Amino acid sequence: MKDSLLSKDGTRKLLASLISIFIGLMVGAIVVTIVGFSKDSIGPAGVWDGVRLIFGGLFATGRDAAGSLTWGFNSTAWGNMLFRATPVIMTGLSVAVAFKTGLFNIGAPGQYLMGTMATLMLALGIPSDVVPAGLIWVIAFLGGMLAGALWGAVPGMLKAFLNINEVLACIMTNWLAANIVTWAFDVSNFKNVVESTKTGYIYKTSFNGVQTPNLGLDILFPNSQVNGGILIAVIIALLVYVIMNKTILGYQLKACGANRHAARYAGINDKGSIVLSMAIAGSLAGGGAALYWLSGNTEFFWSTYQTLPAAGFNGIPVALLAANNPIGVVFTGIFMAMLDIVGQNLTGFTAYNEYITDVIIAVIVYLSAFSLVIQMWLTGKSKASKAQPQKPNDETQKGGEQA
């Protein structure tokens, strides 16, 4: 039974992801322990609290009068987790689609930024007293996806027609996008001048009456930022799964990714498939930015040239942990957002500072890459088990003697 489970590709991928997550959490607990015992201000009690928060921080609600951690359902933490998972799910889908077609889309941050620019300018630039706010939301969302698609198509065209490595092209377009977006908002009228201390920020889309409806999630998770964007992201993940696994288009894209020259011999337009796959990947990253900023409760800091958005890069470990499965991306995206909330609770409820939190999260994120190594180890273990000669049972021996 065990051998038959390991022989299944899907089972090996799931086990590899779960083992990677467990190893990452264990490393995080070890880091917390070492730091805790090396600082007198933390001590054994603080270390124990830190370890518990690593594994169950999503359920932490605070501290009681005696100073002990309290546990339970934290609606704010759960709602914020789903809110933060929304863009990561979308960028994870972006990376996963490109991986499925044989491409490495490291350009999700730039596509995310271009989607941010188009979404905010459309959401804030179209007057809501002339056009209904709901229609503006749709226009801004589609505009963000289109901007991401166009920006994603650039490295796709460079790869298809000039055979330039998509990783190099994506890195170039990432920083181009960062500077273009910075310049565009610097000369625009969308900077927040109402609050004098926030002139480096762009207005929230709710300033124009445009924001994603809560769809009842605010009742389930009160006092949080959650909205209907998470449901839209899940629906898009299902659509991506259907397109990639149940349609001719998905088959053509994956065939081109498996062997570009064989696909061309079979009559598939390999150049068009490469450009289209990167455009689809870009549209998903841009859509992630649109869902995040259209929430109406988040402000965009426009001086983006100093750094690239983490949501774009976080899509890489999300896709790796999910083995590029669009349905799996939903769960791994939520897991990554959970780590973010756990880090906040670790900083807020213990004496560990934010830098330790960043180290722990970084270790867990980068260990997700080991899922591929673990898959190969499980595959080798399954093959070795099959190669062992099977010992005949007693009934088989008796039957042979009677014959």
The pTM assigned to this predicted structure is: 0.88
H or E segment at 61? strand 60-63
Do residue 162 and residue 280 come from a single domain?
yes
Residue 201 Rama label (left phi>0; alpha psi -120 to 50; beta): beta
Q: What is the pLDDT of residue 273?
A: 93
Structural domain harbouring 20: 1-42+352-387
Nearest Cα neighbor of 49 from 62, 39, 40 is: 62
Same domain, 129 and 2: no
Torsion of CA 118, 124, 126, 131, to 10 degrees: 120
The predicted structure's pLDDT at residue 403? 45
91 and 197 co-located in one domain: yes
Q: What is the CATH number of the domain that holds 93?
A: 1.10.3470
Using an 8 Å Cβ cutoff, are 253 and 244 in contact?
Answer: yes
Residues 220 and 357 in one domain: no
Alpha helix ranges (H) inside 163-246: 166-186, 217-220, 229-246
Q: Is 300 helix (H, G, I), strand (E, B) or coil?
A: strand
- Has residue 396 been placed in a domain? no
Residues 144 and 184 in one domain: yes
Q: Tell me the residue type at 261.
A: H
User: Rounded to the nearest 5 degrees, what angle is found at the Cα of 218, between the Cα atoms of 55 and 80?
Assistant: 30
Q: How far apart are CA 79 and CA 226, in angstroms?
A: 5
Q: Give the torsion through C-alpha atoms of 325, 369, 9, 378, to 10 deg.
A: -160
Say if 75 falls within a structural domain. no
- Residue with token string 């759960």: 78
**301: three-class secondary structure by DSSP:** strand
200 and 341 in a single domain? The answer is: yes
373 in a structural domain = yes
Residue 99 and residue 32 in one domain: no
* Domain shared by 344 and 360, yes or no: no
Q: What is the mean pLDDT of each run of 10 residues along the chain (403 residues)?
A: 59 78 84 86 87 89 87 92 96 95 93 96 95 96 97 96 93 94 89 78 92 92 94 97 94 89 88 95 97 93 77 90 91 91 86 70 67 68 60 54 50
Does residue 373 sit in helix, strand or coil?
Answer: helix
If asked whether residues 176 and 258 sit together in one domain, one would say yes
Sign of the Cα torsion 246, 247, 250, 255 reads positive
Looking at the fold, whether 328 and 360 belong to one and the same domain comes out as: no
Cα dihedral 300, 302, 306, 309 in deg (nearest 10): 30
In a domain, 71, yes or no: no
In a domain, 401, yes or no: no
Residue 369 sits in the same domain as residue 284: no
In our burial notation (b when 16+ CB lie closer than 10 A, e otherwise), range 149-178 reads bbbbbbbbbbbbeeeeebeebbbbbbeebb
> How many distinct structural domains can be found in the chain?
2
Question: Concatenated DSSP letters for 248-289?
Answer: HHHHHHHHHHH-HHHHHHTT--HHHHHHHHHHHHHHHHHHHH
Tokens 């905010």 correspond to 120
Distance CA 200, CA 353 (A): 27
pLDDT at 76: 92
Examine the domain organization and report whether 317 and 363 are in the same domain.
Answer: no
Residue 323 is assigned to a structural domain of this protein: yes
262 domain-assigned: yes
Q: What is the largest CA-CA distance in the chain?
A: 96
Alpha carbons 298 and 363: distance in angstroms, whole number: 27
149 within some domain: yes
